[in-house]
Every structure is written in structure tokens, then in C-alpha cells.
Amino acid sequence: MKFLPGPKKESAEPLLAFRISAREEALLLATLRLYPVLANGHHRISQDPKTAGSAEQRLLEESMAQLRAAHRRKLDELFLAPQRFFKDAPEERRLVLTGAQLEWLLQVLNDIKVGSWVQLGCPELEKAAPVNLTRPNARSLQAMHLSGEFQAALLEAVK
């Protein structure tokens, strides 16, 4: 997937276009179908153990649950009508997003990325220690890498 610089002028909000192959499109949709991956109990308002069960901790969990539900609704819209996002251009396929949709996809992909990493046991990635591959965690490893690849492509548009 590759960002195509030069916003289209056909709407009030600039559109961001990415060249995408049919295989990448299928992989992106398959990756997005994993959402959400991060567990509900992942979010902590503070390092202070005294805040566990506090009003502010509950508020954070409610806020994240609402955000997750909103992301899920938008994903369902994408799965129902992918042609709203994936368009045919002469000789290529494109993913076309508004700025708000880009932010939404970045958040969704990072949930999948971080959630998959947590499922793998939070390995030290920079030490290149090989993850002990098993059938269940192979999927997490693949999801972590794919979501990162798509994130990196999307971030090209905001550099």
C-alpha cells in the first residue's frame, strides 16, 4: 500500500488516496476483522494501585468501551460497503480516506497491534528474541506485523 500525494479537490475535506493491491485490500480487511484485540481491562488511569476500582478508573473504562463501540460500528459500515473506501482508478485500486477516517483506522490498527503484542507476552522486539511460535500465537504475530505495515503506510499521509 502506498500513499499517493496530492489531495483530491472534489470535497470540502481533502481526501487521502493510497494505491492498494487486491491482495493488500484483502489482508487489510482480514486484519480489521480482528478488532478489538486489546482486552477491556488493559487500560489503567494511573500506576497507583489505589486507583483500581476508583471512579476515574471506571470512567476511563466506560470511555474506552464507548470508543470501541463507535469504532466497531464504523468497521461494520466498512465491511458492509467497502466500495465507499476502496475505489477503482485507471489501472489501479485505491483506498480513499478523509482525515478523520485515517485517524480512526490508525486507532483501530494500533489496538490490533498492541493487543496482538500483549497476546504474545509483550516480547522485547528490539532484542530480536524469536517468539516461540505456536499455532495460536502465529496469528497474533501475523496480526501485529500486518497492522504495523498498514499503519506505516497510512502515516506517510500525515508526514
Partner 1 sequence: MPETSAPITVPDTEEEQKPKSKDRPDRGFLVICWNDPVNLMDYVTHVFQVVFGWPKAKAERHMLQVHQTGKSLLARETFEKAEHYVHQLQGYSLHATMEREE
By the rule CB under 8 A, 148 interacts with partner 1: yes
By rule CB under 8 A, what string of x and - marks binding of each residue 15-54 to partner 1? -----------------------x----xxxxxx------
Q: Which is closer to partner 1, CB of 77 or CB of 103? A: 103
Amino acid at 12: A
Alpha carbon distance 51, 58 (integer Å): 10
On whether the CB atoms of residues 97 and 153 are closer than 8 A, the answer is no
Residue 71: how many CA atoms within 13 Å on its side-chain side? Answer: 23
By the rule CB under 8 A, 69 interacts with partner 1: no
By the rule CB under 8 A, 60 interacts with partner 1: yes
Provide the CA 70 distance to its chain's centre, in angstroms.
14
- Compute, in degrees rounded to 10, the torsion defined by CA atoms 21, 14, 35, 135: 30
Q: Which positions from 102 through 141 interact with partner 1, judged by CB under 8 A? A: 103, 106-107, 110-111, 113-115, 117, 122, 124-126
Task: Candidates 21, 40, 54, 63: give the one binding partner 1 (CB under 8 A).
Answer: 63
Which stretches within 1-155 are classed as H helix?
A: 22-32, 55-80, 99-119, 135-155
Q: Which is closer to partner 1, CB of 25 or CB of 61? A: 61
By the rule CB under 8 A, 13 interacts with partner 1: no
For residue 102, give the nearest of 142, 20, 158 by alpha carbon: 158
Write out the residues near partner 1 by the rule CB under 8 A: 38, 43-48, 56, 59-60, 63-64, 67, 103, 106-107, 110-111, 113-115, 117, 122, 124-126, 144, 148, 151-152, 155, 158-159
